[in-house]
């Protein structure tokens, strides 16, 4: 089972969009996929059409030790969602979990989920205890990087956090990068891509996700890009990105 956290401290880089559409793309290839909304803002939950804020979710698993199978909902064929849950924002402030608090998501997934090929975790844009839970649970991470200067700064900070966690715990996590909101007509976007390739040549997944209005619109209707505009270039890109992830295909 591949457990992949999609994480970036910077918001607005297409993290939730990538989680949602990559999950659906993998499910369309007959892989069994579980998507977990670990962000209290619940954007992934809403993007999959689950708008009821009181819906039980990952908050109940982390706070009350509810089994993930009891808070998982089928949202597409081969694809289940664990919503964020109404109380997820409280998790940062719970003090009675002790040192176990950082490992609760790992325990919930690895001890109680065995029938999935992929678990994708949509992380909040912070480095708090929720983000740490994702890093400790995952055996891979995908870092979306938008084609702008601030995304490069966010990537640098994120890599520093990874280095610290890996050195502290003496463990390695496979890291992938994906370019999002990419427009190759923009000089800055091309420069960002060149910089990422230069510094992380073995990490950048081959397919950039091109900027398209349909990708921005689809979550508002509770739809993935495949539901909303199946022949859109965004759908084409996410299909290819899924193949990149399956094959470990990197390059420029």
* Residue 96: alpha-carbon gap to chain centroid: 28
How many other CB atoms sit within 10 Å of the CB of residue 162?
17
Position 49 scores a pLDDT of 93
pTM of the complete model: 0.93
Q: Could you report the per-residue pLDDT of 83-120, keeping only the tens digit for each?
A: 999 889 888 777 666 557 888 999 889 877 778 999 99
Distance CA 180, CA 187 (A): 15
Distance CA 222, CA 54 (A): 17
Higher pLDDT residue, 76 or 146? 76
Fold adopted by 2-247: Rossmann fold (3.40.50)
What is the rounded average pLDDT of the residues 220-239? 96
The pLDDT confidence band at residue 45, using thresholds 50, 70 and 90, is: very high
Domain ranges, ordered by start, for the chain: 2-247
Q: 247: which residues sit within 8 A by CB, 6+ positions away?
A: none
Higher pLDDT residue, 42 or 110? 42
What is the rounded average pLDDT of the residues 10-32? 93
- Highest mean pLDDT: which range of 98-107, 123-132, 228-237: 228-237
Higher pLDDT residue, 213 or 198? 213
Beta strand 73-76 pairing with 140-146: unpaired
Laid out side by side, the sheet with 73-76 consists of: 73-76, 79-82, 33-37, 118-122, 2-6, 140-146, 174-180
Q: Could you report the per-residue pLDDT of 141-184, keeping only the tens digit for each?
A: 999 998 777 777 778 778 888 888 888 877 888 999 999 988 87
């Amino acid at each position: 089972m591949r457990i992949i956290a999609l994480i970036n401290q910077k918001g607005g880089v297409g993290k939730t969009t990538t989680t949602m559409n990559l999950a659906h793309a993998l499910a369309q290839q007959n892989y069994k996929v579980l998507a977990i909304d670990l962000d209290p803002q619940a954007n992934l939950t809403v993007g999959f059409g689950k708008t009821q804020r009181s819906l039980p979710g990952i908050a109940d698993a982390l706070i009350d030790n509810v089994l993930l199978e009891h808070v998982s909902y089928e949202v597409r064929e081969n694809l289940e969602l664990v919503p964020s849950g109404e109380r997820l924002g409280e998790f940062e402030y719970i003090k009675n979990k002790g040192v176990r608090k950082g490992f609760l998501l790992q325990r919930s997934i690895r001890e109680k989920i065995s029938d999935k090929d992929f678990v994708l975790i949509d992380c909040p844009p912070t480095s708090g205890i929720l983000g740490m839970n994702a890093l400790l649970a995952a055996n891979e991470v995908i870092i979306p990087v938008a084609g702008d200067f601030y995304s490069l700064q966010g990537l640098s900070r994120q890599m520093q956090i990874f280095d610290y966690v890996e050195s502290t715990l003496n463990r390695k996590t496979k890291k992938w990068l994906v370019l999002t909101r990419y427009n190759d007509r923009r000089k800055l976007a091309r420069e960002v891509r060149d910089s990422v390739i230069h510094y992380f040549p073995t990490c950048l997944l081959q397919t950039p996700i091109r900027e398209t209005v349909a990708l921005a619109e689809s979550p508002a209707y509770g739809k993935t890009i495949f539901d909303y505009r199946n022949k859109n270039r965004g759908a084409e890109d996410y299909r290819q990105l899924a193949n990149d992830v399956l094959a470990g295909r990197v390059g420029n």
